[in-house]
Amino acid sequence: MSSVPFTMEHADKGKESSNSINEVEVTNSPIICGLPDDISLMCLARIPRKYHSVMKCVSKRWRNLICSEEWFCYRRKHKLDETWIYALCRDKSNEIFCYVLDPTLSRRYWKLIDNLPPQISKRKGIGFEALGNKLFLLGGCSEFLDSTDEVYSYDASSNCWAQATSLSTARYNFGCEVLDKKLYAIGGGGSKSSYHSWETFDPLTNCWTSQTDPKIVNEIKDSVVLDGKIYVRCSRYPVTPHVFAVVYEPSSGTWEYADDDMVSGWTGPAVAVDGTLYVLDQSAGTKLMMWHKERREWILVGKLSPLPIRQPCQLVAVGKSIFVVGRVLSTVVVDVDNLGNEDQVIVGSAIPGLLFDVNVTSVKCLSN
């Protein structure tokens, strides 16, 4: 009777076959026993986002579902998605951290996101933006100003970081915005090709497309999306201290200079709420300004108390609420519907910050 020797090759093939069978079984198994998958999805998608991490522990089938594009699209289509706020911070040793805030909790607090890619831990001038259900960390440079084109993405569903498609041009301290489901990287420092260039990332093709325009400069101060256009505040320093802004018109794909009256009051972080531009003026205290389109002037809408918030601050909006996020992640929430006259001190709900010192470099919101 002949025998066939059992080698490691046979063992590996056996494992691969077993793993394939297990994956098929997970894929073909019902989401909830006794229910059609479409009914199960309809039920599970209504569970608040704060419980999704627990749900992923129920089974592989549930984990795969919650991390899938199908889950993300279903919740967004049926307006079940919830917006959380993400803050990019830097401590005294210049190390980068990322925190998340669920604004729906009764006791709101900032939570650290673990496992940032170690390659970016000390980088400066990093772009930070949200597109779909992912956060993106783009470019940046070391203390020696050697810029990089590397991009990393964070999947909010799976809670994992991964390397993404690199920028066309290495750059740092650049404008970063999302418009029409595309990611924009604008101007900044780096190689000479970054000074007058801007590029767009299309997630459908997974590619960056680079273009140039002489109006784009390397000194980018801030950016905001307003009325379907990208506004970028720039400076030609040290050539001239003059601050100006350019605006991108997507219908023509061109950049034009923005209105000087609007630029004159754009002196700090900006955010748009229902088509209205708000700016935080931190030059003397902390004042919230509003750009009045019809009157073509800036209006003081209120002053923030210095007690719950520490400068410098960044702005982000969720619905009609503006989150003013300051040093140590001290946060004040302002409802634009409750803003009074210009002499009024703005009273908003406060969210406690951290017990150690960090500066907030950028704040974005992401729905999932």
What are the pLDDT digits (tens) for 278-311? Answer: 999 998 889 999 999 999 999 999 888 877 788 9
Helices then strands (H, E): number in the chain? 6, 27
pLDDT of residue 306: 74
Confidence of residue 236 (pLDDT cuts 50, 70, 90): low
CA distance 67 to 82: 15
DSSP 288-314: EEEEETTTTEEEEEEEE-SSS--SS-E
Q: How confident is the model at residue 215 (pLDDT cuts 50, 70, 90)?
A: very high
- The fraction of the chain above a pLDDT of 90, given in percent, is 76
Quick: pLDDT tens for 347-358: 778 999 998 999
How many residues are recorded in the chain? 368
Burial class (CB in 10 A: 0-12, 13-18, 19+), 340: exposed
| Distance of alpha carbon 98 from alpha carbon 104, whole angstroms | 19
Distance CA 201, CA 349 (A): 37
Q: Is the pLDDT of residue 145 over 80?
A: no
- 5 pLDDT band, cuts 50/70/90, is very low
Q: Please, which pLDDT band fits residue 27 given cuts at 50, 70 and 90?
A: low
CA gap 324, 310 in Å, rounded: 10
CA torsion sign, 53 to 55 to 61 to 66? Answer: negative
Average pLDDT over residues 224-253: 85
When pLDDT is cut at 50, 70 and 90, the band that residue 82 belongs to is very high
Instruction: Identify the pLDDT of residue 20.
Output: 47
Top-tier CATH class for 118-258: mainly beta
- Which pLDDT value is given to residue 284? 82
Phi, psi for residue 168 in degrees, rounded to 5: -70, -30
Of 71-85, 104-118, 229-243, which gets the smallest average pLDDT? 229-243
Answer whether 0.85 is exceeded by the pTM. yes
**Among the ranges given (25-39, 70-84, 89-103), the one the predictor scored with the smallest mean pLDDT:** 25-39
Q: What is the dihedral sign for C-alpha 263, 268, 269, 272? A: negative
Selected residue with higher pLDDT from 174 and 194: 174
Examine the pLDDT at 207 and tell me if it is beyond 50: yes
Q: Are 250 and 231 in contact (CB under 8 A)?
A: no
For residues 54-81, give the mean pLDDT.
Answer: 96
Q: What is the distance, to the nearest Å, from the Cα of residue 347 to the centroid of all Cα atoms in its chain?
A: 27
Most confident of 144-153, 158-167, 283-292: 158-167
Task: Report, as an integer, the average pLDDT of 112-119.
Answer: 93
Q: What is the mean pLDDT of the chain?
A: 89
Beta-carbon contacts of residue 204 (< 8 Å; ≥ 6 apart): none
Q: Picking from 91-105, 184-198, 248-262, 314-328, which range would have the lowest pLDDT averaged per residue?
A: 184-198
Predicted confidence band of residue 146 (pLDDT cuts 50, 70, 90)? confident
Q: What mean pLDDT do residues 95-122 have?
A: 94
Residue 173 pLDDT > 90:
yes
The burial class, CB within 10 Å (0-12 / 13-18 / 19+), for 323 is buried
Please tell me the predicted confidence (pLDDT) of residue 3: 43
Number of C-beta neighbours around residue 233 at 10 A: 22
Task: Return the residue matching tokens 């009609």.
Answer: 320
Confirm if 268 and 284 have CB atoms less than 8 A apart: no
**Element spanning 44, H or E:** helix 37-44
pLDDT at residue 157 is higher than 90: yes
The model's confidence at residue 15, banded by pLDDT at 50, 70 and 90, is very low
In the chain, the percentage of residues whose pLDDT exceeds 70 is: 89
pLDDT for 342 beyond 80: no
User: Which pLDDT score is estimated for 26?
Assistant: 52
| Res 120: pLDDT | 92
CA atoms within 13 A on the CB side of 181: 7
Burial of 14 (0-12, 13-18, 19+ CB in 10 A): exposed
Residue 9: per-residue pLDDT: 46
Residue 92: other Cβ atoms inside 10 A: 9
Q: Where are the domains of the chain?
A: 8-77, 82-114+265-368, 118-258
Question: CA-CA distance, 135 to 157, in Å (whole number)?
Answer: 11
Pairing of strands 171-172, 160-164: unpaired
Residue 147 C-alpha from the chain's centroid: 21
- What's the one-letter identity of residue 222? D
